[in-house]
Structure 1
């Protein structure tokens, strides 16, 4: 079958923007076009395809089944065109923008990210940390690493790891009270952030009453990584994810006095827009990070396609 080389490139560019942003108005703002011009270009493409690409409702649009199939392929095509133009100009690097939670970034990603860049020398990486959920439609971000259950509308989410937690402290701090022999002994020490639900869940699982915890003075450091650093310094007991501190445990800077660990059902996920799942730099990073996880699974754990 011979494919025609005639296709409405400008209309495809407009379609890509509308599919990404979920709005004719936002697409017009990005492209410097009026909403009428955007609608006209989409209509031209729909006539060319022979089917509607969007379901139009009052104040809301969504992709049709045909639009869902077309959007990721168009996004990938424009990404490849961008790469081809960059190479033609002698610009060999493509930028991958990653947003990540501070603890995951410092305790896992930053320690391994160099391996990704060695395997993908044409992809430059820009890493930023934030505890807030970014809006992929409004911010210059390609992928995000988030904590939760992977149920973010409009995003595909690949599970990286489950989250487990248990109290950890320095050996010197434990010795200051003659050792930590039972879970209740932890309450003799300074504890970081007793407002954290993890503490209540773990103490209850360990058979320790949580009554009166709300009256104790507590400190809030804002990120698990900061509480871990304070725990290494012997300033208190932190409830941490052991998978993030293998070196500290191996060298004795931290120890976990009890084998009991809990989970609240959340995990760490790699999230990115559903309609950009085939963009080469996103695919490369996704395949790399999933291979770095235990088991090396490169299959999507929880593909989501929301409004």
Structure 2
């Protein structure tokens, strides 16, 4: 009975050498020296107490024990590889982590095909950040944040100015013919965007009345689901509301858009990221996504 686990590098060397029937080819494949491969195989054989290869001057072949052992080793290494790719993606080195709100990630996901066509070697991992403090919890290559235009720092790169629109379920939309009708809706508030209703109504010189908020959620996506279910109205960023409608959500925009006074920005979390070409490619794609189509030449 083995007292310790077998070194994984020995198994990789064995599998590669067995597949190629060559220590030289295995060394080239694994970026090791031929001596290192030979030492790995020798250590594995000593650990198992069995000879795995028959070595000759100009040839190499498996023993019967080696032939029997190879399928299990290969299956084990394949399982590890599949699990790693499934959890972390096929090419970790070319992955770019983007952290943004849930609504922004949903909106960007629908446009990811463009990036894949332009840069098939680049993978993207979307991470959801609901609160600003979450940006300190996990490293990301890029943060997309919504910030007041007058408070934006020099470290932020603007993507777009934003507007808000009122939305309600399509079954209710026909009854909204004026701002007064809009005020009668049960209001769904989104935490972190508590002033959106007041900001929208103030644009039309209407003071927000008290006591009309019935539901509070922490994401625009959840607000959209409640609106679709006929539970009231919500103020959404116009680009997110438009996408929801285009993708089949049963909601309607029931008022003119109003400038939010806030913009989406890119924040690079590490100055060294500028040296990674895949990060620069993703930034270029993000700018393309946020640029209005009538401004794209």
Distance 2:243 2:123 in 1: 28
Q: Does 1:202 align with 2:219?
A: no
- Greater Rg, structure 1 or structure 2? 2
| 1:248-291, Cα deviation, whole Å (9 max, x unpaired) | 445682222222x2223211112104623332221111112112
When residues 186 and 135 of structure 1 are mapped into structure 2, their CA distance, relative to the original with a 3 A threshold, is: closer
Q: Which residue of 2 aligns with 1:286?
A: 283
CA RMSD of aligned residues (A): 3.2
When residues 138 and 103 of structure 1 are mapped into structure 2, their CA distance, relative to the original with a 3 A threshold, is: closer
Q: TM-score scaled to structure 1, two decimals?
A: 0.56
CA contact (8 A) 1:192 1:237 kept: yes
Q: Which residue of 1 aligns with 2:110?
A: 111
Q: TM-score scaled to structure 2, two decimals?
A: 0.58
When residues 242 and 217 of structure 1 are mapped into structure 2, their CA distance, relative to the original with a 3 A threshold, is: closer
Q: Which residue of 1 aligns with 2:68?
A: none
| 1:81-111, Cα deviation, whole Å (9 max, x unpaired) | xxxxxxxxx96852211111111111x1111
| 1:150-176, Cα deviation, whole Å (9 max, x unpaired) | 7566x732222211112111231245x
Point out the structure with the larger strand share: 2
Q: Which residue of 1 aligns with 2:126?
A: 127
CA contact (8 A) 2:129 2:135 kept: no
Count of aligned pairs between the two proteins: 201
- 1:149-228 matches, within 5 Å, as 149=148, 156-175=155-174, 179-193=175-189, 196-211=194-209, 213=210, 215-228=211-224
Q: Which residue of 2 aligns with 1:98?
A: 98
What's the offset of the Cα at 1:200?
A: 0.8
When residues 265 and 208 of structure 1 are mapped into structure 2, their CA distance, relative to the original with a 3 A threshold, is: closer
Distance 1:174 1:121 in 2: 42
What's the offset of the Cα at 1:197?
A: 0.6
Q: Does 1:262 align with 2:248?
A: no
| 1:129-170, Cα deviation, whole Å (9 max, x unpaired) | 0123368787421111111147566x7322222111121112
Point out the structure with the larger helix share: 2
When residues 217 and 138 of structure 1 are mapped into structure 2, their CA distance, relative to the original with a 3 A threshold, is: closer
When residues 293 and 216 of structure 1 are mapped into structure 2, their CA distance, relative to the original with a 3 A threshold, is: closer
Distance 1:136 1:236 in 2: 32
